Amino acid sequence: MAKNKQSAMPEFFCDMHIHVGGTWTGKPVKITASRQMTLTRILEEASERKGMDMIGIIDAHSPEVQEELQHLIDQGHAAEHKDGGVLYKQTMLILGCEVEIKETARGEAHFLCYLPDLARMRLFTKWLSQRCKNVQLSSQRIRTTLRELQQVIADWGGVVVPAHIFTPHKGLYGSCTDSLAELIDPSLIYAVELGLSANTEMADRLLELHEKTFLTNSDAHSLAKIGREYQSIALGERSFLEWVKALRREEGRGVSVNYGLHPQLGKYHQTACQSCQSTQPANEQGRCPQCGFKRVVRGVYDRIAQLADAPAGVHPPFRPPYIEQVPLEFIPGVGPKLREKLYERFGTEMSILHRTRQEELASITGDRIAELIVLAREGRLVVKAGGAGTYGKILPLREDKS
């Protein structure tokens, strides 16, 4: 936690999109997430290792996840806040749910639904169970419209945030629409999530997003990925009510800094063939001109260029800085064992990436890896862009031939 220099209001590190992989009895929730991602383990990791002040669990609709949370409350390990949210040790939990909606004649898109408390999340679970096949699982397609979803969530005092909006795989702009107003009531959308393959510079090329708060969240499917993207938010205190005020930028609340992945490291930054990774555009038959595979995935960069109606570099006055970061797992040569040594010596990953001096890092990692970490901190690494579902890569330093 830090102080907001402009308002003297405390700031909190927040990652509002974290998946539950499995329940405390071993049942799957998010199929593609690690089974180690139980609710309690996520809370422990966020509080004790990552240093996150606030997190959003977006599988809190799952009945067994609710049972585990209720158990923590009953045992006195967690406590509900009067203004929404659940406090566990040093971390405030905001209850959320990711759903998939497919409007008629359009592609699927994911949306994050946040509610103030467990009681209202249980009501939402009951509503969902009548509109999806398996309410236990994450990211289920539900039989409804976006506007109906917005109204239901608003009636229960919650908010809807479009998830990873530009990605070709179930992002609102990436696979569903060219404009918010075509499908959604824009007045009920206070914020949008950029996703790993975009940053503020790219997203502000769309004028209709200039009034929206930008969120940068991890979409974590494993414990290690918690906090790979996050934001610093100025709040009076940590609660659901204060967080919604921040999304609406009311009473001095708001996002102060977006800390996001270098967009070229994202899985969908550039257009690429899903088979051979060629970056050539599809031919007239929709196939890759290099290998003939019929799955050339349009990248976020090209999709934004297609939709852009504002010049690059133009931002609304309230837009906070976007600071690009490279998580340790992307640094060549930094494996799990070395990460553990770094955590033991320097504490949290944020301390390692942003504050520890190069010579201190080198005492654990050696000179070359320490140099890579510092170059990442300064935005001077060479990146090979990702695409078609494959993450980008940090290119290693060239060997000194002299």
- The CATH number assigned to the domain holding 372 equals 1.10.150
Q: What is the number of domains present in the chain? A: 2
Q: Same domain, yes or no, for 77 and 156?
A: yes
**289 is a domain residue:** no
Residues 158 and 55 both lie in one domain:
yes
Asked if residue 309 belongs to a domain, the reply is no
The pLDDT score that the predictor gives to residue 1 is 57
Torsion angle of the four alpha carbons 265, 271, 277, 280, in this order, in degrees rounded to the nearest 10: -140
Q: Are residues 7 and 138 in the same domain?
A: yes
Q: Do 260 and 333 belong to one domain? A: no
User: What's the pLDDT at 4?
Assistant: 47
For residue 315, tell me if it sits in a domain. Answer: no
**pLDDT tens over the chain, length 402 residues:** 554 445 579 999 999 999 999 999 999 999 999 999 999 999 999 998 888 999 999 999 999 999 999 999 999 999 999 999 999 999 999 999 999 999 999 999 999 999 999 999 999 999 999 999 999 999 999 999 999 999 999 999 999 999 999 999 899 999 999 999 999 999 999 999 999 999 999 999 999 999 999 999 999 999 989 999 999 999 999 999 999 999 999 999 999 999 998 899 999 999 988 889 888 888 888 889 889 888 888 999 999 999 999 999 999 999 999 988 788 888 889 998 999 899 899 987 778 887 899 999 999 999 999 999 998 888 788 888 999 889 998 887 765 433
Residues 7 and 137 in one domain: yes
Residues 246 and 147 in one domain: yes
Q: What count of other Cβ atoms lies within 10 Å of the Cβ of residue 220?
A: 26
* 316 phi and psi angles, rounded to 5 deg: -65, 155
With a CB cutoff of 8 Å and minimum separation 6, the contacts of 363 are none
Residue 349 domain-assigned (yes or no): yes
pLDDT for 400 equals 44
Task: State the residue for tokens 């479009």.
Answer: 162
Q: How far apart are CA 9 and CA 315, in angstroms?
A: 24
Structural domain containing residue 79:
2-264
Whether 260 maps to a domain, the answer reads yes
Q: What letters, b where the CB count within 10 A reaches 16 and e where it falls short, cover 3-39? A: ebeeeebbbbbbbbbbbbbbbeeeebbbeebbeebbb
Domain boundary among 220, 247, 264: 264
Domain-located, residue 322 = no
* CATH code (residue 248): 3.20.20.140
Phi, psi of 247 (to 5 degrees): -60, -35
What is the tally of helices (H) and strands (E) in the chain? 12, 17
* CA distances in angstroms from 254 to 4, 147, 245, listed in the order given: 10, 26, 7
pTM more than 0.75: yes
Phi, psi at 121, each rounded to 5°:
-65, -35
Q: Do residues 253 and 337 both lie within one domain?
A: no
Report yes or no on 215 lying in a domain.
yes
What gap in Å lies between CA 174 and CA 155, rounded to an integer?
A: 28
The pLDDT of residue 121 is 98
